Structure 1
Amino acid sequence: MTPVPQPLAFVAADTADACAARQRLAQRYGGVPPEEAGIIVALGGDGFLLETLHRYLTLGTPVYGMNRGSVGFLLNDFSEDGLSARLMRAQRVVLHPLRMTATRQDGSVTDGLAFNEVSLLRETRQAAKLRVMVDGVERMEELVCDGALVSTPAGSTAYNLSAHGPILPLGADILALTPISAFRPRRWRGALLPHTAKIRFDVLEPAKRPVSAVADFTEVRDVARVEIHEDRGVASTLLFDPELALEERILKEQFTP
């Protein structure tokens, strides 16, 4: 068994490749439950890495992801060799999630955390109508759209980029507010906001034009109001190989044709 600098926990997505990799790595490097680990090694894709961050958030344990999925933007390359050395020289990135407070039409309230983005999406064939408030000031009286999202820098290359939102440098302390298929104002492309901003969406005509809200994995149907802010009281640490640092990946993505 290869010695490691601190106890490791290996967790894997529910796929054959990921589960087989977990078994081989645990045999080679040893493995403990996540509650006893100094580092959690997550094997899967970007979605599974986000699940791991949420599942073990209260432990405060750094997570080192290796790609056993498809895209793997938030993950390191997979290799069974030299894991101890890679972990010892890995760079740390601290992520603060967005906190979503969604109030449904019946008055019930649901909280959720999002390391990538909080998105609002229409539920029917009709476009959503949203009022946009920032720090208590009405910034847009009516946005007619398929939806809208607020993204962190770490999540800016995911759904936000697909919706033609901007890529945000990791240390920029900025959030992206991006419309999804905006109909009116037709040419509005969104806004860049300071990370301290408190954003509120009011759903207009909610009975006729119902809207759902999603914070990573927390989905709330038939919302009337959604409030979003960055929660600096919550943090999760990701580990990256120096040559594949997240900041460099995000910068490089801006020059990808």
Structure 2
Amino acid sequence: MKNIGININISKDIDGKILKYILEIIYNVIIDCNVKVFKKSKDLQYDDIKELDLLIVLGGDGTILGAARALGKNQIPIMGVNIGNLGFLTTVESSRFKVAIEAVNQGKFFVEERLMLKCNVFKDGENKSYTSLNDVVISKGTLSRIIEYEIFIDGKKYTEFVADGVIVATPTGSTAYSLSAGGPIIYPQLDVLSLSPICPHSLGMRTIVLDSKSEIVIKLISEWESAFLTVDGQESVELKENSNILITSYPFKCKLIRLEGYDYFDVLREKIIWRTKKVRK
């Protein structure tokens, strides 16, 4: 891998020491490589990044989410280096970066593909498009009352219900907001989507898991209340009255670098579910 990009969350490296540390290791391990630094995920949308062999993301899960959306159809493998808090999606902790980049340089890794979502918002002939790695959330405004939603799946009416909101999540996003709303943990390699209500006004309204090829249409049918569409918890847009939202799987996958020996369930136990500690006898 000769052409390497680095996307860093500068808020977590204000003095630049982490970036300097990472660059020194890269130049020592990979001879004659070309490195380009991106200090904002959005910069990945505008620069010519097609020649990159690898994108190293320095930050936490949020930085990876932003990078995945910005890369779009440019399916460049992402190597996440955790300098944030949780680091569930990252490849390695920053303290282990030298070992990790040596393994990658020697080909001792595999690429894990993650499903992404595409969301289209239609209103008065306009069509705005968004992508996400985790989820698309439609929710009421701060002072709004609960909203009535009408859901169609593959052109067929699924249901109507009243709730604070709706979450459509990928398997990657199943351990994020969707999990807090009572949704299931979904193994990341499954080709499915989940649709979960947020605080539904009905005991019978629960999560439904759908084939990733499904087309989900969400309509807001109650008297108009303030509502927002949020992508990966990072981008938000206010929905106008009579907006229709179409959510499908994105035709391109997010590619995450995994080192040999990676075990999803180890990471799940450590960082999401139990954060187990050895019981003293």
- TM-score clears 0.5: yes
1:95–1:206 CA distance, 2 compared to 1 (3 A): farther
Write the deviation string for residues 16-71 of structure 1: whole angstroms up to 9, x where unpaired: 44842222111231351263531111110100111111223343221100110011
Residue identity matched to 2:216 = I
1:144 corresponds to 2:173: no
- Identify if the C-alpha distance between structure 1 residues 37 and 116 changes in structure 2 by more than 3 Å, giving closer, same or farther: same
* 1:134 is the counterpart of 2:183: no
Residue 22 (structure 1) aligned to one of 19, 22, 31: 19
Measure, in 1, the Cα distance between the counterparts of 2:170 and 2:268. 12
Q: Between the two proteins, what is the percent identity of the paired residues?
A: 21
User: In structure 1, how many angstroms separate the alpha carbons of the residues matched to 2:97 and 2:269?
Assistant: 28
Residue-pair matches, total:
248
Residue 214 of structure 1: how far off its partner (Å):
1.8
Could you say if the C-alpha distance between residues 45 and 178 of structure 1 is closer, same or farther in structure 2, counting changes exceeding 3 Å? same
Pair 255,24 (structure 1): closer, same or farther in 2 beyond 3 Å = closer
Relative distance call for 1:16 and 1:120 in structure 2 (3 A) is closer
Which residue is equivalent to 1:110?
A: 128
Give the structure 2 partner of residue 53 of structure 1: 68
Find the aligned partners of 2:132 and 2:164 in 1 and give their Cα distance.
20
Tell me whether 1:7 sits opposite 2:3 in the alignment: yes
Distance in 1 (alpha carbons) for counterparts of 2:21 and 2:205? 51
Q: What is the DSSP-based 3-state SS (H/G/I as helix, E as strand, rest coil) of the residue aligned with 2:103?
A: helix
RMSD over equivalenced CA pairs, Å: 2.4
Q: TM-score, normalised by structure 1?
A: 0.86
**How far did residue 192 of structure 1 move?**
1.0
Alignment partner of 2:274: what SS? coil
5+ residue gaps, structure 2 = 28-33, 38-48, 276-281
Is the contact made by 2:113 and 2:189 (CA closer than 8 Å) also made in structure 1?
no
Deviation for aligned residue 1:175: 1.0
Map 1:170-249 → 2, pairs under 5 A: 170-183=188-201, 185-205=202-222, 207=224, 209-216=225-232, 217-223=234-240, 224-231=243-250, 233-246=251-264, 249=267
Distance 1:16 1:117, change over 3 A: closer
TM-score (norm 2): 0.79
Q: How does 1:33-112 map to 2 (within 5 A)?
A: 33=36, 35=49, 36-75=51-90, 76-78=92-94, 79-87=96-104, 88-104=107-123, 108-112=126-130
